Structure 1
Amino acid sequence: MNSAAATLGTVLLAYLPAAVSPGPNFVLIAHTAAAGTRRSAVAVALGVVAAGGVLAAVAVFGLGSVLARTPWLATALRVVCGGYLAWLGVRLWWRARAPDDGSVERPASEGEPPASTRRGNHFRQGVVSNLTNPKAAAFFGSVLTAALPPTEPTAVKLAAVALIVVASTAWHLSVALLFSSPATQRWYTRAKPALNRVVGTILVVLGLILAVTP
């Protein structure tokens, strides 16, 4: 029981920095909340959560077994993903004061119908955002499989996937709800440089540890 709890704690501690670091999912949810409606933002957040649950399950029950049979591939994946995380952290530092790059679709002008008018469309946006997010691929492809060895019992693996889904739901719904507030939006604009540097440092440290730790 203590061993299982320790493993789940490690999974959670590994997942939280990856979840809260600014990235495509964060930008999409925050933008939808600020420029659209709270309901739309919640739908995007739930799409992100659903895709994350699928990625976690695939990593835990599929990719982990493959990596266990091919140690060289596990090492290569660990180094590549660790390097990617470190590069992402450096990039956040470098662009801490840079303006938004406009990668998120702007809100429709007055009188123009929105591109997505149904919650299902927003849900699909969240799913696609997470499935095509390289940060998510780096975490689920390497960090998660390192924190949760294939030798763990099936019950622990299921609990780990459930824990990730719960944590993801709590975080992404919080972003959707908080960024619906104009006051929070103004605070994020002011805090963005410092927030990017803090998260960038975490990603660099996590990436280096991941790359050099067998």
Structure 2
Amino acid sequence: MSPAATLGTVLLAYLPAAVSPGPNFVLIAHTAATGTRRAAMAIALGVVAAGGLLAAVAVFGLGSVLARAPWLATALRVLCGGYLAWLGLRLWQRARTPEPAGQEPEPRRAEALPPNNCREPAKHFRRGVVSNLTNPKAAAFFGSVLTAALPPAEPVAVKAAAVALIVAASAAWHLSVAVLFSSPATQRWYAHAKPALNRVVGTILVVLGVTLAVTP
């Protein structure tokens, strides 16, 4: 198979996994709808960075480390599942917090961060990294589908190009989600539906976290 055909196969295999709803989509969309575009884009970039790391690990065979240390894989799975569940519980708690009476939400008021909040983008970026590293869908894709679409015999240049292609496609999708859900119309709609949607999103994250933690 030619390098172009191989890269096309990788892209076709990756796109359905990227655009199907999962923890990353939920986290970016929720942050964009309830906070600021900058926060959502920072999370999206964290997701992209973690995806690039996972792709490189899978493509260049470093995943064999986890294969030789099952206890480490189990510990990471339990830790990551606990993190997702914790995020879900936090959303449930926030769902019970009412908006101040008579005050309209100001969804875009924090678009420009003041100097004392200069660390906020880094915090959101780390949250995106952790979200993707703990995402069972990402682990399944990079651990099986990608390695099947990109055989070990492929040249290093083709493998590097595949990782770059995945990063570019991931950035295009996740940043688009951040921009779409941070629009004023979406944020106004979300402000009215906040309690119910927070509980729904929180439940999804708790279920995903518990499933990840208890499933070998």
Common fold: TM-score over 0.5: yes
**Match for residue 124 of structure 2?**
122
1:157 aligns with 2:156: no
- The aligned residue for residue 55 of structure 2 is 56
Partner amino acid, structure 2, of 1:37: T
Q: 1:129 to 1:151 in 2, by over 3 A?
A: same
CA contact (8 A) 1:14 1:144 kept: yes
Deviations 1:155-178 (A, max 9, x none): 000000000000000000000000
Q: Counterpart amino acid of 2:9?
A: T
- Give the number of equivalent residue pairs: 151
Larger radius of gyration: 2
- The amino acid of 2:8's aligned partner reads G
Corresponding residue for residue 19 of structure 1: 18
TM-score, length basis structure 1: 0.63
Q: Over aligned residues, Cα RMSD in angstroms? A: 3.1
Residues 124-180 of structure 1: per-residue CA shift (max 9 Å, x gap): 100000000000000000000000000000000000000000000000000000011
Moved over 6 A (4+): none
Q: Distance in 2 between matches of 1:16 and 1:170?
A: 11
The residue aligned with 1:44 is 43
In structure 1, which of residues 126, 135, 140 is the aligned counterpart of residue 142 of structure 2?
A: 140
Structure 1 CA distance for aligned equivalents of residues 2 and 160 of structure 2: 15
User: What amino acid is the match of 1:44?
Assistant: I
Structure 1 contact 31–104 (Cα < 8 Å) conserved:
no
Contact 1:24–1:129 (Cα < 8 Å) also in 2: yes
CA distance in structure 2 between the partners assigned to 1:103 and 1:12 by the alignment: 35
User: Which residues of structure 2 form unaligned runs of 5+?
Assistant: 65-87, 101-116, 194-216
| Offset, 1:9 | 0.2
CA pair 104-31 structure 1, distance change in 2 beyond 3 A: farther
Q: Which runs of 5+ in 1 are unaligned?
A: 67-101, 190-214
Contact 1:28/1:104 (CA < 8 Å) preserved in 2?
A: no
Check 1:183–1:52 CA distance in 2 against 1; reply closer, same or farther (3 A cut). same
Change (3 A) 1:9 1:163: same
